[in-house]
Amino acid sequence: MSFTVPEAVVRLLTADVAVEIARTFGDQPVYPQRIIVDHPDGASGAPRGSARRFPGWPGPVLVLSDENQGVCSWGVPAGESGEVVVGGDLLDAGCATVAYAASVADFIAARRWDHRCLNTGPVLQAQAAELDLASLGYLQARLAPEVATAGWPGPRQYRFEDRDVRVLLWSQAGQCDWWVSAASPASLRHFAAGLPDLPGLGQGLWSSDQDGERGYAAELRGDGMRRLAWQASEWPGDLLDDADADPATGAGSRIAGLRFRDVGLACAEACAALAACLD
């Protein structure tokens, strides 16, 4: 069964480029060393009877690379769309195939961008709450969007950049993984200063790089804890409302608020002590 390799694949994905972009996440390059086409009828380079690399895709797909643990594969479907798809056991999608990048050029660009982001140190990281509109808007107001991808390692990947600052987000249901890097320590410190204000980042930032952990992540976590302590000390003022008090006793919300103040102050003291330890 014949398959015509798309011109963009031949032109852009040379042997050297395939090896280069595979190193980003340790993928196993397939094309151009081997020409393997995954067909709906199972007639591919894989052993007969094995599962399709691109389950559910209606036509043949040229295999570009396999994920380092064999969980999924990337490929280019037959036709003129030029998109790159990812298929396999996908997070939040199950055994499926979805569009990963709009073109082979975007596929290569995303891999190169990720390599620069993850290997320009120090790199700040966080496993935060599900990505919300406020956090996305915060990034969009400060950085320019770069190529976006979908399907792996989660349903959606966002990339933002401005001069020498890069932010990579792996967004999925219930969680978003953050990577923040910059070409200079000063740029990283300046941009990261506002991150503790975002949901889940105040105490979630860390760095696998020793200098990054000591110089940035611990400082930002401490700043987040200090902000939490300040907020805890301010909560009772919002709770004290004479209009809610019992008119006969003057109690009610005011007494509850005073009790809440005690809890809030205790929380503030604990947070401040922890922040001091992190400094």
Q: Where are the domains of the chain?
A: 7-110, 120-201, 214-278
For the structural domain made of 120-201, what CATH number should be given? Answer: 3.30.310
Supply the pLDDT for residue 222.
53
Structure tokens at 107: 């596929």
CA distance 101 to 82: 9
Residue 230: CB atoms within 10 Å: 12
Q: How far apart are CA 5 and CA 62, in angstroms?
A: 7
What pLDDT was estimated at residue 217? 53
pLDDT band at 220 (very low <50, low <70, confident <90, very high): low
Lowest mean pLDDT among 77-86, 170-179, 237-246: 237-246
Query: Number of C-alpha atoms within 13 angstroms, CB side, residue 103?
Result: 9
CA contacts within 13 A on the Cβ side of 224: 21
What lies within 8 Å, CB to CB, of 129 at 6+ separation is 174, 175, 176, 199, 200
R_g of the chain computed on alpha carbons: 25
Each residue's pLDDT tens digit, 174-207: 999 999 998 888 888 889 888 888 876 766 788 7
d(C-alpha 164, C-alpha 215), whole Å? 18
pLDDT score, position 206: 83
Among 64-68, 149-153, 167-171, 189-193, whose mean pLDDT is lowest?
189-193
Nearest to 57 by CA among 70, 75, 69, 71: 75
Tokens of 126: 């966080």
Query: 241 burial class (0-12, 13-18, 19+ CB within 10 angstroms)?
Result: exposed
